[in-house]
Structure 1
Amino acid sequence: MKLFDLFYMGGPTFMSLVTIWGIGMLVFTVQKLVHFFVQGKVTKSGLGLILLFGSLAMVTGFLGQAIGLIMAFDAIEVAGDISPSLVAGGLKVSMITPVYGTILFILSLIFWGALKEVYTRKSEQEA
């Protein structure tokens, strides 16, 4: 499967929102890295935004899954008799958005933790 296929299978609306949160997380991470490596400044401000955008990505992924499952169960209720393989395929597709959001959240935790450690060590050296 190609990444673009997964993007559209997961639902372009929620996958786009999760991507926007992921881009926001990366922007703030790069901003902190530029402050540290280029300008030599190490500040704690803005670190929480990295975690915030990662959290928003994960929560939006789960919200997309919940809304998709509600719509799918409504369709199953109207149709009546549905094959188990069709339900399994739908459940598989419903997991794409939360997995994507969770991956972005894990990345934000890694970036946030690393940058917080840099801040802590720099603060201890200056003290």
Structure 2
Amino acid sequence: MIELFQMGGMLFMSILTIQLAAVVFFATKCFLSKDQSVGQIKNVGLLAVITGILGQLIGMFSAFEAIQQMGAVSPAMLAGGLKVSMITTMYGVIIYIVAILLAIIIKNRK
């Protein structure tokens, strides 16, 4: 898990982790205060997806720039770079899924 965190890039993975903490904070706040407003949870989760996609785009841009400078690159090396660039997007989507699940749980509790 730590290896994926480092491979995804410390900047974007740290930002996404802070967003995950914000999702948990807002969910705890809603759960403890008996507040049914789950909009903040969903919004932070959606922001995590967008942040993950931005991280992927920036990673792909820098990878393609390096490929352009190197010239010929093997398909395996290209596939490895694309795989690494998807880590932030996957993390962002996982955070969004957690946010949606927490929002459903909070909304449906009695």
Matches within 5 A, 1:4-15: 4-15=2-13
Amino acid at match of 1:16: S
Which residue matches 2:80? 89
In the alignment, what sits opposite 1:34? 32
TM (normalized to structure 1)? 0.82
- Compute the TM-score of the two structures, normalised by the length of structure 2: 0.94
Between Structure 1 and Structure 2, whose CA radius of gyration is higher?
1
Alignment correspondent of 1:64:
55
Residue identity in the other structure for 1:67: I
The alpha carbon displacement at 1:32 in A equals: 1.6
CA positional deviation for 1:4: 0.8
Which ranges of structure 2 fall in alignment gaps of 5 or more residues?
Answer: none
1:77 counterpart letter in structure 2: Q
1:70 aligned partner, one-letter code: F
* Identical-residue share of aligned pairs (%): 43
Structure 2 SS opposite 1:43? coil
Question: Following superposition, which runs of at least 4 residues in structure 1 exceed 3 angstroms of deviation?
Answer: none
Letter in 2 for 1:109: I
